[in-house]
A and B are shown apart, each in its own frame.
Chain A
Amino acid sequence: MNPEELSYAKTHEWVAVAEQDGAKIATVGISAFAVEALTDLVYIDLPKVGQQVEAEQPFCEVESVKAVSDIYSPVAGRVIAVNDTLPDALETLGSDPYGSGWIAKIKISDEAGLANLLDYAAYQKQCAE
């Protein structure tokens, strides 16, 4: 996916929203900036398929050599898919963060959270601060 066309949470998750069978599905990952800042990732605790998630609440954890970090769900809804190739290929988060490094797909139940997301330019500006 083209990072310039994605939406971003202030907490460094990216979101791509697509229509599927009348529902809105959010694909979620973490930005290249976030991966670069974390460095040395060693573990990911993926969310569970079927899990209900709330906007701006932790739903996944990544562990680096130095610290553990929460990943926040940018939207409210239900997890319908997770990228279960990630735990054995964490380097994908860095090499292809906006493609094969996706983390989860969430069927959106409440679109209110989408309004709080940043566009690419606004997110870049936040990262530069």
Chain B
Amino acid sequence: MSTTEPLLKTPLHDWHVAHGGRMVDFAGWSMPVQYSSIVEEHLATRQAVGLFDISHMGRLLIDGPDSSAFLDSLLTRKIVDMRPHQIRYSLVCNETGGILDDVLAYRAVLGDDDPPGLALVVNASNRAKIVAWLESHAGGHSVEVRDKTIDYAMIALQGPKAIEILDSFTPFELTSMRYYTGQLMEVAGVECFVSRTGYTGEDGGELICDADKIVGIWQQLIDAAERVGGRAVGLAARDTLRLEAGMPLYGHELSDQINPVEAGLDFAINLRDREFIGKQAIEAAGKTNQTVRVGLQLEDRRVPRESCSIWRGEEPVGTVTSGTFSPTFDQPIAMGYVKSTAAAAGTSLDIDIRGKQYPAKVVPLPFYERGK
């Protein structure tokens, strides 16, 4: 998006501004990067509940008799066998196996459609690209792609108290909802699509509703969250939370120059008895891959950032893709790509931070895993 175009605003934009949100340009949207302290917002999510406005993410409906076969031909996970209410994390790849986006695919029962239609939630930065990609491959399929991003709002409640709070606003028995499923229900008297999904490593849910209904729901959820130590959380803490959880972020760990195998996303690839764009390249990459996504932990307090080089002695072995100071562990953490010969957990490496080398250790991902 060109910088001369005005930034898009979510329906919660005025709320963010009124509550101290520092607004920044994120993928063409004016979004709150933080309201107060990133560390406090991060820890509130780990200890109680964080509320996130994620309305900037792209929401696409894929309808028509061929919708399942159509998405199945484009996604790395199988779509045709998805049951009603089921959700799958998947990748969209090009012919060379390069990742175009990571998405959630929903077998969403939104009406009387039989079979139920499909929905995709895509990254804000990739929405236009993915819509164009879907449309350019729709020929020959009886399928309709509708971009509903602006019509709907989307928020996330994440943290150990998230489900309990959301549950108190809906007649639906949310505590029994399975992870990676979602369905329509009333929340605070408004019809919403609620799923047990998220991007923080915590239990929680994500909620989609009509754009003009979200402010009332959000405020009620904020009030309930604040009573248990929760709060609104900006994009900065969303980033530190997902990094601790070892989750990749498009534009950092993922790009069209990276294939799903080196990204370590084998769980999101299903090659058996199906064809999809990029399959041959991904199969080949599985045999020849030279680099691997790893977690890195540092003892010093210097924080490695994106594009810092990684060394083993005199040998350059890789590059940092994301780094931050972990609020949970009180030390710097990073993800990056290194040669597979330097990727074993426990390997001692050095990271060049502004011209000086700092010792780092390869550690298994995720850094953070919530207690079950």
Contact = CB atoms under 8 A, between A and B. Distances in A.
Does B bind A? yes
Given A65-B324, A65-B325, A43 B303 contact: yes
A116 to B, nearest CB: 26
A67 to B, nearest CB: 8
Nearest to B300: A43
Given A61-B354, A63-B325, A65-B325, A43 B37 contact: no
B354 A68 contact: yes
Among A65, A67, A68, find the residue whose CB has the most chain B CB atoms closer than 10 A: A65
A40 B305 CA distance: 16
Contact of B39 (A45, A63, A65): A65
Contacts of A81: none
Nearest to A70: B354
A65 B41 CA distance: 12
Interface in B295-346: 301-303, 305, 324-325, 327
Nearest to B34: A39
Interface of B: 33-34, 36-39, 236, 240, 301-303, 305, 324-325, 327, 354
A42 B34 contact: no
Nearest to A61: B354
Given A43-B301, A65-B327, 10 more contacts: A39-B34, A40-B39, A40-B325, A42-B303, A43-B303, A43-B325, A61-B354, A65-B39, A65-B240, A65-B324
Given A39-B38, A40-B38, A63 B236 contact: no
A66 interface: yes
Interface residues of A, number: 12
B301 A63 contact: yes
A66 B243 CA distance: 12
Contacts of A65: 38-39, 236, 240, 303, 324-325, 327
Contacts of A45: 302
A39 B302 contact: no
Interface string A50-75: 00000000000101111110000000
A80 B50 CA distance: 46
Interface in A1-59: 39-40, 42-43, 45
Contact of B37 (A40, A67, A68): A40
B303 A68 contact: yes
A70 to B, nearest CB: 10
B302 A63 contact: yes
Nearest to B239: A66
Contacts of A64: 325
Contacts of A68: 303, 305, 354
Contacts of A66: 33, 38, 236, 324
B63 to A, nearest CB: 41
Nearest to A44: B301
A58 to B, nearest CB: 10
A45 B356 CA distance: 12
11 contacts: A39-B34, A42-B301, A42-B303, A43-B302, A43-B325, A63-B301, A63-B325, A65-B325, A66-B236, A67-B305, A68-B303
Nearest to B326: A65
Contacts of B301: 42-43, 63
Nearest to A90: B301
